[in-house]
């Protein structure tokens, strides 16, 4: 496991203790997920692109994830968080493949 | 009837573009040979997929020689499909640990990475769609 991950806290996970009570824990990439949740308008400008988000900052973006990841690494991001912003298409239902 | 106890609960990831939450696991993927080139990615839980599939360009960014892996075809229910190459990856998550898995990397661009039944063979996943959460526990 890469170093950055070993130091991270749990994902958007809540661990079920033996008591049966859920113990909320810190969210892995929680800042990024919250930013994504609350910045839909900003992300709309990146529809169809791959985005690297670190905290609340877009580090790199573009059509080519190879270039986007390279750009983030060049900026010192050891483990970039890469995701694709899907374009909204009317009357489209997506399945896996 | 068996009862499954899950260790972790995950909220669906909300996509404000669509206004919808999706069952996505944010995890780290890396080549076992190039662990220093790990990437955190979104991966959609897809119980209909026989094998996990990732965008081939992500494979290249991880340090794989994309076309150096064995060829495999992924076919949709309509019969259309895409070619992919198999490579062994390490998937890691702070709550779930790490797993090695041979997955497909597409040779054409795709917009979603999919975790298929090969991943579900390593972890037990339960969906609660009504509450937009899923549960995961490493399979014993």
Residue B96 maps to a domain: yes
pLDDT at A11: 41
- Which residues does chain A have within 8 Å of residue B38's beta carbon, measured at their own beta carbons? 2, 4-5, 78-79
pLDDT of A12: 47
Please report whether residue B2 resides in a domain: no
Nearest by CB to A16, from B7, B13, B60: name it. B7
Residue among B9, B28, B46 minimizing CB distance to A5: B28
Residue B128: inside a domain, yes or no?
Answer: yes
Residue B27 located in a structural domain: yes
Which parts of A16-84 fold into alpha helices (H)?
A: 30-38, 40-44, 65-74
pLDDT confidence band for A94 (50 / 70 / 90): confident
Q: Is residue B98 part of a domain?
A: yes
Total number of domains constituting chain B: 1
Q: Are A20 and B6 in contact (CB under 8 A)?
A: no
Q: Do the chains contact at A36 and B94, CB–CB below 8 Å?
A: no
What band does A25 get if pLDDT is binned at 50, 70 and 90? low
pLDDT tops 60 at residue B39: yes
CATH number at B115 reads: 2.40.70.10
- Asked if pLDDT for residue A6 goes beyond 60, the answer is no
Which of A8-22, B29-43, B45-59, B118-132 is predicted least confidently? A8-22
pLDDT above 70 for B108: yes
Q: Hey, are the CB atoms on B13 and A36 less than 8 Å from each other?
A: yes
B16, exposed or middle or buried, with CB in 10 Å at 0-12, 13-18, 19+? middle
Task: For residue A66, give the nearest of B36, B57, B114 by CB distance.
Answer: B57
Q: Which of residues 28-47 of A touch B (CB under 8 A)?
A: 28-29, 33, 36-41, 43-44, 47
What residues form DSSP beta bridges with B101? B89
Nearest to A29 among B26, B36, B81 (CB): B26
Residues of B in contact with A59 (CB under 8 A): none
Reduce the DSSP state of residue B44 to 3 states and report it. strand
Mean pLDDT calculated for residue range B118-132: 95
User: Residue B98, exposed/middle/buried by CB under 10 A (0-12, 13-18, 19+)?
Assistant: middle
* pLDDT value of residue A93: 80
Q: Please report whether residue B3 resides in a domain.
A: no
Kindly state whether residue B104 falls inside one of the protein's structural domains: yes
Q: Where are the alpha helices (DSSP H) in B40-139?
A: 56-62, 117-120
Contact B37, B31 (CB under 8 A): yes
pLDDT surpasses 80 at A1: no
Which residues of chain A from 68 to 87 reach within 8 Å of chain B, CB to CB?
Answer: 69-70, 78-87
Range of weakest confidence among A55-59, A64-68, A87-91, B14-18: B14-18
Assigned domain for B17 exists? yes
Q: What range does the domain containing B98 cover?
A: 8-138
| pTM of the shown model | 0.88
**pLDDT confidence tier of residue A91, bands split at 50, 70 and 90:** confident
Return the H-helix or E-strand segment holding A57.
Answer: strand A57-62
The alpha carbon torsion through A24, B133, A57, A45 (nearest 10 deg) reads: -160
Q: Write down the ipTM of this complex.
A: 0.93
């Amino acid at each position: 496991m890469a170093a950055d991950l070993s130091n991270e806290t749990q994902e958007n996970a809540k661990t079920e203790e033996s008591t049966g009570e859920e113990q909320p824990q810190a969210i892995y990439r929680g800042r990024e997920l919250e930013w994504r949740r609350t910045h839909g308008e900003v992300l709309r400008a990146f529809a169809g692109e791959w985005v690297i988000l670190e905290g609340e900052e877009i580090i790199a973006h573009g059509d080519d994830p190879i270039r986007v990841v390279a750009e983030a690494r060049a900026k010192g991001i050891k483990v970039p968080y890469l995701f694709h912003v899907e374009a909204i298409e009317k009357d489209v239902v997506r399945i896996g493949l | 009837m068996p009862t499954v106890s899950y260790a972790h609960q995950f909220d669906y990831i909300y996509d404000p573009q669509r206004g919808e939450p999706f069952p996505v696991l944010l995890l780290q993927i890396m080549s076992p040979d190039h662990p220093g080139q790990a990437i955190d990615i979104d991966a959609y839980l897809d119980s209909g997929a026989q094998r996990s599939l990732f965008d081939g360009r992500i494979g290249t960014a991880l340090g794989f020689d994309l076309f150096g892996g064995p060829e495999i075809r992924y076919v949709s229910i309509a019969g259309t499909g895409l070619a992919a190459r198999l490579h062994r990856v390490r998937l890691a998550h702070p709550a779930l640990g790490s797993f090695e898995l041979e997955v497909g990397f597409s040779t054409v661009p795709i917009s979603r990475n999919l975790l298929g039944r090969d991943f579900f063979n390593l972890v037990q996943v339960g969906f609660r769609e009504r509450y937009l959460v899923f549960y995961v526990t490493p399979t014993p």
